Each structure stands twice: as structure tokens, then as C-alpha cells.
């Protein structure tokens, strides 16, 4: 299994903007635009049936903040799952993260 490295960053970021051109850089920010904190974030290649570990660990992503996800170069098509503080989950499947810099939930 490829080990994913992450860099935690809490920074207020703008709306999702597509990158100017396709690249092989799949890194992106998860922006919490919801009404409650995000307790868990999972990102895995769409080819992998497993979610892997929660990228937030013991942390939460407060409303209005962002979390930077770093993935291996070239891993462009990914599934993203977040779990809100109320336990409800939201997923986005087959997201080309090489063509964006931010993704906002909800």
C-alpha cells in the first residue's frame, strides 16, 4: 500500500477553483463550508476499494477552515469521504484532484 503523507493546515481558503491546466499534482484542500465541524476525512485512489485511515486523526476540521491533503504524484482520480460531527457521511467519487486545488463540503 502506498503510504500517503499529509500536511495539516488550517487556513481559510476560497471556493473550489479549477487549475489552469491538468498536472500530475493531486494535492488539494478540503474546505469545510458546512454548518458543523468535520470529524473525519478519507481519500483513496478510486481504484482502491478501501478508504484507509482517517487523515484528521484526533483532530477536527472547524467550520470555515481547510485541510491540505497531499497524495503521491500522478494519483489523480480519487474518492473522498468526510464524516460530519453528527456522524453523517458525504462522499465524492472519481474526483480528478489533479485538475483542482480546492474542494468544498457540503
How far is the C-alpha of 84 from the C-alpha of 4, rounded, in Å?
22
Q: Quick one: cell of 18?
A: 479549477
Maximum alpha-carbon separation in the chain: 37
pTM of the model: 0.79
Q: Per-residue pLDDT tens for 27-38? A: 999 999 999 999
Q: What is the CATH number of the domain that holds 98?
A: 2.60.40.2890
pLDDT at 2 over 60: no
For 69, phi and psi rounded to 5 degrees? -105, 125
User: What does residue 31 show for φ and ψ, rounded to 5 degrees?
Assistant: -105, 125
Q: Is residue 1 part of a domain?
A: no
Distance (Å, whole) CA 18 – CA 37: 25
The stretch 83-91 carries a mean pLDDT of: 98
Range of the domain at 65: 6-105
Amino acid at each position: 500500500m502506498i503510504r500517503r503523507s499529509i500536511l495539516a493546515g488550517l487556513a481559510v481558503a476560497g471556493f473550489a477553483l479549477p487549475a489552469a491546466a491538468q498536472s500530475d499534482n493531486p494535492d488539494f484542500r478540503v474546505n469545510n463550508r458546512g454548518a458543523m465541524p468535520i470529524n473525519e476525512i478519507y481519500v483513496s485512489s478510486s481504484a482502491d476499494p478501501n478508504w484507509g485511515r482517517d487523515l484528521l486523526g484526533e483532530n477536527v476540521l472547524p467550520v470555515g477552515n481547510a485541510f491540505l491533503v497531499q497524495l503521491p504524484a500522478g494519483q489523480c482520480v480519487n474518492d473522498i469521504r468526510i464524516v460530519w460531527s453528527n456522524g453523517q457521511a458525504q462522499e465524492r467519487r472519481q474526483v480528478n484532484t489533479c485538475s483542482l486545488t480546492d474542494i468544498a463540503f457540503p
